[in-house]
Structure 1
Amino acid sequence: MTAPSQHRSLDILDAELPAILASEVERYWQRLLDRCDADQRTWYAEFADSDQRQHLLSAFAGSPALADMCERHPAWLPDLVANNALGVRLPDEAWHEELSAACAECVNADDLAKALRDFRNRHWLRIVWRDLNRLATMEETVRDLSALADACVEVALAFLHKQLVAERGEPRSADGTPQQLVVIAMGKLGAGELNLSSDIDLIFAYPQAGSTVGAARSDDNQAFFIRLGQRLIKALDARTADGFVFRVDMRLRPYGQSGPLVISFDALEEYYQDQGRDWERYALIKARCIAGDRREGERLLTQLRPFVYRRYLDFSAIESLRDMKSMIQREVARRHLQDNIKLGSGGIREIEFIAQCFQLIRGGQEPALQALKLQAILPELAKMAYLPEPVVDDLQGAYRFLRNTEHAIQAWRDEQTQQLPEADPARVALSFSMGFGDDVAAFLSALEQHRQRVATHFANVIAPPETEPDGQHLSNNRWRTMLDELEKDSVRQTLEEAGFDDADEAARLLVALLSGASVLRMQGSGRDRLYDFLPLILEDLCDAESPAATLLRLIPLIEAVLRRTAYLVLLIENPGARKRLVELCDASPWIARQLAAQPVLLDELLDANSLFSVPEKAGLASELRQRLLRIENNDLEAQMEALRYFRLAHVLKVAASEVTGSLPLMKVSDYLTYIAEVVLDAVLDIAWQNLVDKHGSPVPAGDDQRHFLILGYGKLGGLELGYGSDLDLVFLHDLPSTNVSDGARPLDAATFFTRLGQRIIHILTATTRLGDLYEVDMRLRPSGNSGLLVSSFTAFSDYQHSQAWTWEHQALVRVRAVAGDENVAQKFAKLRAEVLCKSRDILVLKDEVVAMRQKMRDHLLSGSDKNAEFDIKQGAGGIVDIEFMVQYAVLAWSQQHPPLTYYTDNIRILESLSEQGLISAADTRTLVDAYKAFRSQAHRLSLQEQKGLIAESALGTEREIVSRFWQQLMLSP
């Protein structure tokens, strides 16, 4: 071998490397050349003079471990360059193929260990080279490292399983099904985000109990797989002359180090169900099957998903993550790890905690938040408006910077550390690798800026609730003392002193709640949360107009969440949401009942801007579309739940805006109608796709229309929906009945559209965890309940022209297309105008309308309502009188005045009557004002959960005006 002094120097210039690193790089270079043969020395000399020179210098300067790898294996770098492996990322499928080929000739465990370590070290060199020279992004680096680990585990397991089967027989279930070990990766490997020197967190499981067959001695399956797991760990973790493949950590398995190395699926599920702790939910967020029986592994993870992701909003996750962070902070302080970029303030772990906090809280409702990769979660948080975009940008930028820093630290000596180095060469190398040259101060300043931003955002998301003012703290002590004693007279006295209007009743309610069986059965953290929540809500109730009545409305909500006290955590953590809860329940028992029935809606109280801001129809449609896009097309249950939550949430927003005065009456009805229309559009899409998937489409190829229409009658058609309104619907189709769908199970068009109508009604009316969407009334279709569920357009047209009763034509005044094809909608609009403009005998029409009105009043008004109170809707001079007059006017005068058919809502029809000169402008204004007054009062009563009855003397002027018009228009000759 040539003496070192005879080797060519790298001739490192000061401009190429920081001076403190140059001499060390020269030394690594000379040691490398000492190990080379003549051909290799020539290659390295030429390589050092090529355009790759700076890459060589940067790699050696940033990683003595890489230089040492090249020295021990001088043929690897030339081979990697020859195969262009340094310039491009290895394809996903290549990892397994390359390692399998390398292990194909292995005879025993020693051969396997050698092949695995060579494969790992060679690719570690390649990955570090690409990372330090920024030939790969951070995302590519972690993906490659994870793919490297996946391949090593999978190929090693396959080899060892085959070997052990030859020795001990094949493990099978009781019914003879062959069994394989399932390897679940946790942590960074599970997420595909492994770092350069990470260990790998694994859990081993097997599907079913049984025993081995085919060998002289039979083992039960657990014994077989424990032996297999031990061999797999040794193959990966044992340190040999070639180092190790990956350090393996099995402490995340059930019962930790004291538990069995491998357990069955049943035992694993039982453990998590009965004993699973919050930190184990946190760990399972990143779980991924990486080796063994992949199908069974996916089945296992699907079965464990309900343990990880609650179906309700789980704000208790904040407490758990906060406790974990506190433990980490204590460990950081004890071990002086403030300069640890993972565990220290503003480090990688805090970014992970922010993302995982939202995953645990909301992942059960938002499937998109169940992704494994942190960088897939952060954009979703911005898209769903859970975090502002600038915050997400800060977190993503910091995460990338911190992970690059982590890799540069670990590349130095291939050591598992995230601690900033103290020695000058290592600090300069870190600064140089991060693009700051030898300006360590500039690098540390940039690092500190990222960490400060992360720490600030972390505090905003997960830090403890803000400290209460002294006065509030003293008030809470008063409530806590009262609750500890819980003696009715003492409770009443405390409530009286706090200003409760009916302290005696409030005391009775509170004592009854806390003495009830549900509360007495509570234990541990749940009971603690309740007793942390009550002083806060009682203090907030002092600001209500009717504290006792509001407490009465709140108690059903409290009782509803006693088994899911995470909702109490939500309110404890968010004083603003708690105050908005009191404000809304004080204003409306209807809102209180909605929240008690569906506590998931408490989430909507978190953001005041969102709660009191209702988007226009296009915004509603976009929001629902985005929500549904995050759900698999074939998951009807999830789609139905998403639709129900969407409707509940937005109806709550409308009610909140109305009771606080930020939304006028006409807008209330508009928005409630928009919500229904957007829901109907989505329901039609879902039902159509579901049916087409099964039976194909009846629409001819090349036709992009569905030839189906949903008509809205009554309040839906008239844009006047209320909070509890049902939907009066009629379905039409416009295809020949002879058409047949083109699927494997074809249906004729009539049957197809009937099934489509049935599916739409099912989606709308089925009761799920979140209730139904809407009650649906189909009785206004031709021939009522005895008629076809879905009429052809031709049959509907014939019926309207020749068979419909006058009252059905009255109903047609308030009909419009609310979902479906535009072409059919235009045909319907033309038909509606034709029918409304038909020539009619005015006197006969008037008699029929008046008779129908009287019949309705006799049927719907009870004797007590007639005498004691005024029924806003059905009483003489009320809403229905105005509606009947409008309908009569349209039917009577549209032939001469077609513009009367343009609108379906009463107010715009009244305005059209004025524009056509049929009613004076002054009379129109008085009728419109009366109509608005009636509807406004009806809305208020609805939110107070009262019948539509008012005092006989109320709204007297308006009733007199309507009655006078009724007399003039309907009863005069």
Structure 2
Amino acid sequence: MTEPKTTRLMDVAADVIRPLNQVELKSVLSMLKDLGRSEPAIANLLGSEGPLKNFVAAALTLSPYLRDMANLSPPLLAEAIQQPIELMLEALVASARNAWKGEPGGPSATEAQVMSRLRIAKRKVAFVTALADLARIFAARDTTRWLSAVADASVAAAIDHLLVAGQEAGKLTLQDPSEPSKGSGLIVLGMGKLGARELNYSSDVDLVVFFEPEAGILAVPDDATETYGRMMRRLVRILQERTADGYVFRTDLRLRPDPGSTPLAVPVEAALVYYEGRGQNWERAAYIKARPIAGDLVAGEQFQRELVPFVFRKYLDYAAIADIHSIKRQIHVHKGHGAIAVKGHNVKLGRGGIREIEFFAQTQQLIAGGRMPELRVRPTETALCALAAANWIDDETRDELISCYWFLRDIEHRIQMVHDEQTHLLPESEAELRRIAFMSGFADAKGFSVKLEEVLKAVERRYARLFEHEEKLSTATGNLVFTGQNDDPDTLKTLKSLGFERPEDISRVIRTWHYGRYRATQSVEARERLTELMPELLKAFGESRRADEALLRFDDFLSGLPAGIQLFSLLGNNPALLDLIVNIMSSAPRLAEIIARRPHVFDGMLDPGLMVELPTRDYLAKRLASFLNGSRFYEETLDRLRIFAAEQRFLIGVRLLTGSIGGTQAANAFTDLAGLVIGEALKAVIDEMEATHGRIEGGRVALAGMGKLGSFELTAGSDVDLILLYEHADDAGDSDGLKPLDPVRYFTRITQRLIAALSAPTAEGVLYEVDMRLRPSGNKGPVATRLRAFEKYQNEEAWTWEHMALTRARLISGDADLIGQTKSIIESVLVSPRDRAKVATDVVEMRQLIEKEKPPRNIWDFKLIPGGLIDIEFMAQYLALIAPGRGIERSVNGLSTADALRQLGPELMNPNDLDICLSALRLYTELSQVIRLCIDGPFDTETVPAGLVDLVCRAGDCPDLSTLEAEVKRLSKAVRKVFQTVVKG
């Protein structure tokens, strides 16, 4: 606790509360005088003058329940006056926890004894806590924590008693009767406010009970449901039946799976199957605060770990928002809480109430908790702080909502202290409202009402901003009616005014959506979300170039979508994302197809830092490490790699699409992403191999990225060129695992598994298509190459084109020593003296062969056109091979083509020629990155989307396509001349 354990009621400050009225005050003083005859501490209190006497008297006038408690148990009031509060409460909680125990050496406690002990402990805790709360010695945080502590102790003691009773009846065999719950497999979760340790003064407790049939404590396992069901009925009786000692807590077990048709205690496996297949969003929200409080706590924690994927989805889950808000709307309709008015207002469920703050936090925890483990916290205040730390809300929102939350919890406690009733309604009468105002430290009802209204409106305002899209059920732009068989004339006018050229066609398409003819719009809920989104959707598409074409592409996208709720909810919550999807539909069919196949890739767009943080290697590495954290199995790791790569490729593409990064930055980012993902895949493959086949003595692996992967020039759709090299001890025999393999088969199997890990299609798609033709001997050689064989081949057999390829080799993963050896060998090969004329002849012949066998489709085929990318790449590689013969020993491995030219060109090329090549390369890179991002096939100006034409012109810094085409022709012609000058074959 935050307060020291020596805190006493006598530490109360002056005038924290005032008595209800003089009549009540006289009555209470008279009662205290009577109590003082048997309790000297109370007599001494009355004989003194000061804050403590004034406080106790005022408190008992304001709370009839506390007055009755004092009358019923004068020693309790005397003890509360004299003793340190925390020490009293600790002892009372401990007595509740031990209520199931019998006398040492004697029989265990009877059920009647357990019930009496729990009721006495709870009553005393409630009384002492209420006094400390009213005295402002406790804040609401302390009150809720102590009330939750006694609830935890009571439920745990009742469960221990029932387990012991089960053993005594021959139904159970406990592992350790002195710790009945240990290893029992009986799981009791505290839900809601109990789970978050935020229990009300007069709360009921929400419990969910599960059991592990395999725990082995049942005498007859087939009787599990009946045995535990009977036990839970007794649990409810122990806790909530009213006796001469009162009750402990009203108990609710209805949060279990499908409570109308399931037993009171549910088998763990059945629960997991239910939540995985049929669990609802409201259940996910409930489990945010769930906490094992009784029974087998170890099993409870394991069960919660297994529920994490159900509660916190891997993808940002905006579909949950509307569900949660719909619950809030249903509460308002059912309870009739349509407006804020202090008298009669429900401080929990009414507008601006406690539930809105809880929903505000929980919905955002549901949305992002799967990707941000730090949001998986139970208490409301802690959740708001975590959301602020993660930049989901600002500090001002956090501070205001925390302040409002605890103010409303204070008021809730005072409402319940009056008569120990589980109510959240403020009184209707002025006199009773004054009672709550005085208990809250206000001088009158008016000041209290002003403050409460201010708090309720602040909460309502914050809550409304989160859910404001839910209220947009109409549009000011005009009629948008898509029901019936015929077009609505006013709707056609609206569509025309929005920017659509063929409103009848657009109306027909949208009616198709509303008829539920696509899977994405088959459910009522999906169509409702779509209807709410429609005004913003049509406005955004109408503002795009060729609006009809863009919306029809969106229609194609919808037709292939397996479900629509998630997407419609996402777009409704984020206007910027709606603009982005319109941009994608109007210009980037390839991205549209990716979203259609994997809508979750869109989630990353909600990262607040997306457009300001560059996708550097460090940035990607941190996110990859976080995404892989907790991955336990090989297949799970590969699936996570596929999910991560797809999402990050998409997000890099989005940055490129929006102009946040340029083509060169995109190339670096796509390449860094590939290097990281392939490196993790290689680690996973090696771990899996070692688990099955063991290790080869001295075995080591190094992976070289070739081609565009080696030179940081990958595009969104690139495959990857790889060479896997290995070494081992000369006398190494078979591997030392359960299934031994000789070294050649062992490293061949690693390579084959790596290829499969990267390119085999799974439910999460393909990571990368892999090309290994650049290995020694090409497709005819072994897929894995021993380093000494690689060295021998490169020195004695490799052709010029293979040495050209070697100038782009970059070691991306593997054993550090082997990587160093490989680099040394590559450098040694590349600095070897060469016949310059022969190299030039080989380069020219190769370029002519490519030109003959793969002619360019059109001027936009930047790779193959004369003076295109191949010409520039060949020049850079040619210069790298001849440079050592000119006394220039500079490695270009690990450099882009542009950087290689900058490294070698100043000494081996005419400066003007170098500038031409770099300018052309820059243009080709910018255009290629955008085109490869947006479409899979060739760039045909007659068929590509209008939006892509705009993007390409922007990337090429030209006003229109004809100007850009003229620039490409000019530069390509100039590059071809430079190629012929530099490479004289």
Q: Same fold (TM over 0.5)?
A: yes
Q: 1:770 to 1:51 in 2, by over 3 A?
A: farther
Check conservation: 1:872, 1:948, Cα contact below 8 A: no
| Structure 2: distance between partners of 1:274 and 1:523 | 17
| Structure 1: distance between partners of 2:879 and 2:845 | 16
- Is 1:844 matched with 2:838? yes
Residue 472 of structure 1: SS of its match in structure 2? coil
| Structure 1: distance between partners of 2:806 and 2:730 | 26
Moved more, 133-142 or 745-754: 745-754
Q: TM-score, normalised by structure 1?
A: 0.79
User: Aligned ranges for residues 824-863 of structure 1 at < 5 Å?
Assistant: 831-859=825-853, 861=854
* Aligned-residue identity in percent: 29
Cα deviation 1:765-812 (Å, max 9, x = unaligned): 454544233333344345556767676766655655555443332122
- Is 1:929 matched with 2:935? no
| Matching residue of 2:180 | none
CA shift, 1:924, in A, is 0.8
| Structure 2: distance between partners of 1:135 and 1:291 | 30
Which residue, 238, 259, 275 being the options, matches 2:241? Answer: 238
Check conservation: 1:197, 1:416, Cα contact below 8 A: yes
Residue 962 of structure 1: SS of its match in structure 2? helix
Q: 1:586 to 1:33 in 2, by over 3 A?
A: same
CA shift, 1:824, in A, is 6.6
CA shift, 1:240, in A, is 1.7
Cα deviation 1:91-110 (Å, max 9, x = unaligned): 99968863444687554321
Residue 98 of structure 2: SS of its match in structure 1? helix
Residue 459 of structure 1: SS of its match in structure 2? helix
Which residue, 869, 878, 885 being the options, matches 1:879? Answer: 869
CA shift, 1:732, in A, is 5.6
Cα deviation 1:190-220 (Å, max 9, x = unaligned): 34432332101234555669999989xx995
Q: 1:150 to 1:425 in 2, by over 3 A?
A: same
Check conservation: 2:314, 2:370, Cα contact below 8 A: yes
| Matching residue of 1:473 | 478
| Matching residue of 1:462 | 467
User: Aligned ranges for residues 290-369 of structure 1 at < 5 Å?
Assistant: 290-292=293-295, 314-330=317-333, 331=335, 333=337, 339-363=345-369, 369=375
Residue 898 of structure 1: SS of its match in structure 2? coil
- Give the residue type in structure 2 aligned to 1:525: E
| Structure 1: distance between partners of 2:186 and 2:207 | 12
Cα deviation 1:354-373 (Å, max 9, x = unaligned): 12223444556656555544
| Structure 1: distance between partners of 2:974 and 2:88 | 83
User: Aligned ranges for residues 614-653 of structure 1 at < 5 Å?
Assistant: 615-617=614-616, 620-621=619-620, 624=623, 627-628=626-627, 631-634=629-632, 640=638, 642-653=640-651
CA shift, 1:430, in A, is 3.5
Q: 1:183 to 1:946 in 2, by over 3 A?
A: closer
CA shift, 1:343, in A, is 2.3
| Matching residue of 1:671 | 669
- Give the residue type in structure 1 aligned to 2:669: Y
| Structure 2: distance between partners of 1:229 and 1:928 | 77
- Is 1:939 matched with 2:929? yes
| Matching residue of 1:175 | none
| Structure 2: distance between partners of 1:734 and 1:875 | 41
Cα deviation 1:508-558 (Å, max 9, x = unaligned): 866777778546993533344445555653443322222333233212321
| Matching residue of 2:704 | 711
Cα deviation 1:43-74 (Å, max 9, x = unaligned): x8899999999999999899786686577556
| Structure 2: distance between partners of 1:167 and 1:800 | 82
Check conservation: 1:753, 1:790, Cα contact below 8 A: yes
- Is 1:908 matched with 2:890? no
Number of residue-to-residue matches in the alignment: 932
Q: 1:14 to 1:307 in 2, by over 3 A?
A: closer
CA shift, 1:950, in A, is 6.9
Q: Which runs of 5+ in 2 are unaligned?
A: 1-8, 175-182, 942-964
| Matching residue of 2:250 | 247
Check conservation: 2:701, 2:727, Cα contact below 8 A: yes
| Structure 2: distance between partners of 1:130 and 1:271 | 44
Cα deviation 1:6-54 (Å, max 9, x = unaligned): xxxx999994655648968977865654443x7x789x88999999999
| Structure 1: distance between partners of 2:253 and 2:881 | 79
Q: 1:599 to 1:969 in 2, by over 3 A?
A: same
| Structure 1: distance between partners of 2:587 and 2:406 | 48
CA shift, 1:461, in A, is 0.8
| Matching residue of 2:800 | 806
User: Aligned ranges for residues 372-411 of structure 1 at < 5 Å?
Assistant: 372-407=378-413, 410=416
CA shift, 1:404, in A, is 4.7
Residue 814 of structure 1: SS of its match in structure 2? coil
| Matching residue of 1:959 | 972
Q: 1:256 to 1:337 in 2, by over 3 A?
A: farther
| Matching residue of 1:158 | 160
CA shift, 1:836, in A, is 2.3
Check conservation: 1:694, 1:743, Cα contact below 8 A: no
Cα deviation 1:697-747 (Å, max 9, x = unaligned): 9999xxxxx987543322122121111012223456788689999999999
CA shift, 1:883, in A, is 0.6
| Structure 2: distance between partners of 1:369 and 1:311 | 13
Cα deviation 1:904-946 (Å, max 9, x = unaligned): 211122222343x221221111111122233333334324425
| Structure 1: distance between partners of 2:60 and 2:695 | 64
Residue 728 of structure 1: SS of its match in structure 2? strand
Moved more, 801-810 or 61-70: 61-70
Residue 721 of structure 2: SS of its match in structure 1? strand
- Give the residue type in structure 2 aligned to 1:324: I
- Give the residue type in structure 2 aligned to 1:726: D
Residue 522 of structure 2: SS of its match in structure 1? coil
Q: 1:669 to 1:26 in 2, by over 3 A?
A: farther
User: Aligned ranges for residues 186-205 of structure 1 at < 5 Å?
Assistant: 186-204=191-209
User: Aligned ranges for residues 754-773 of structure 1 at < 5 Å?
Assistant: 764-765=758-759, 767-773=761-767
User: Aligned ranges for residues 44-193 of structure 1 at < 5 Å?
Assistant: 86=86, 98-101=98-101, 106-124=108-126, 127=129, 141-163=143-165, 166=168, 169=171, 182-193=187-198
| Matching residue of 2:570 | 570
Check conservation: 1:731, 1:757, Cα contact below 8 A: yes
Q: 1:969 to 1:311 in 2, by over 3 A?
A: closer
| Matching residue of 1:703 | none
Q: 1:890 to 1:439 in 2, by over 3 A?
A: farther
| Structure 1: distance between partners of 2:637 and 2:129 | 43
Moved more, 260-269 or 661-670: 260-269
Q: TM-score, normalised by structure 2?
A: 0.78
Q: Which runs of 5+ in 1 are unaligned?
A: 1-9, 173-177, 701-705
RMSD: 5.5
Check conservation: 1:740, 1:747, Cα contact below 8 A: no
- Give the residue type in structure 2 aligned to 1:463: E
Q: 1:670 to 1:605 in 2, by over 3 A?
A: same
Q: 1:196 to 1:501 in 2, by over 3 A?
A: same
Check conservation: 1:346, 1:455, Cα contact below 8 A: yes
Check conservation: 1:86, 1:130, Cα contact below 8 A: no
Moved more, 511-520 or 188-197: 511-520
Check conservation: 1:237, 1:245, Cα contact below 8 A: yes
